[in-house]
């Protein structure tokens, strides 16, 4: 088992159960752990732990990645687009990235969703698609 359930007492005096899952180690050897709190009963926390561990075993949980949108896109252009796409396609990708980057460039990739991008594209500032 790579996780545990523990109890903590909040400042308000309320008891809270916490689920902790070990996700391995980062490049520097520091442990990466995921915490989820807010369970009122130990049984609920244990059920949540079991579900998260099953998801981890199935490969559905990914380690947190601090890469920003800008960093990812620069790497993607270099590693994939410039090697696999026509020059005009790469140029168009750069234009689209240059437009989106000021809005979400500093966001972590793991925090972005299709809904985040859709909201950008539908906003008054995002009416850029021909």
Task: Kindly tell me if the per-residue pLDDT of 83 is higher than 90.
Answer: yes
Residue 67 to residue 38: CA distance in whole angstroms? 28
Q: What pLDDT band is residue 130 in, cutting at 50, 70 and 90? A: very low
Task: Kindly tell me if the per-residue pLDDT of 92 is higher than 50.
Answer: yes
> What pLDDT, on the 0 to 100 scale, is given for residue 63?
65
Residue 69 to residue 64: CA distance in whole angstroms? 14
Residue 124 to residue 105: CA distance in whole angstroms? 18
- Measuring CA to CA, how many Å separate 96 from each of 5, 39, 93, 116? 45, 43, 5, 16
Q: What is the mean pLDDT of the chain?
A: 86
Over residues 112-129, mean pLDDT: 72
Tokens coding 63 = 């380690």
Q: Are 111 and 75 in contact (CB under 8 A)?
A: no
Best CA proximity match to 130, nearest among 103, 104, 95: 95
Q: What is the pTM of this model?
A: 0.51
């Amino acid at each position: 088992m790579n996780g545990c359930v523990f109890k903590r007492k909040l400042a308000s005096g309320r008891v809270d159960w916490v689920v902790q899952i070990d996700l391995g180690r980062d490049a520097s050897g520091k442990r990466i752990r995921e915490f989820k709190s807010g369970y009122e009963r130990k049984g609920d926390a244990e059920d949540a732990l079991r579900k998260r561990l099953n998801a981890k075993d199935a490969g559905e949980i990914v380690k947190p990645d601090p890469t920003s949108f800008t960093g990812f896109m620069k790497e993607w252009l270099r590693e994939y687009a410039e090697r696999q796409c026509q020059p005009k396609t790469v140029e168009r990708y750069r234009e689209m990235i240059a437009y989106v980057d000021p809005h979400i460039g500093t966001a972590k990739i793991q925090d972005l969703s299709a809904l985040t991008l859709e909201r950008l594209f539908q906003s008054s500032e995002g009416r850029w698609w021909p």
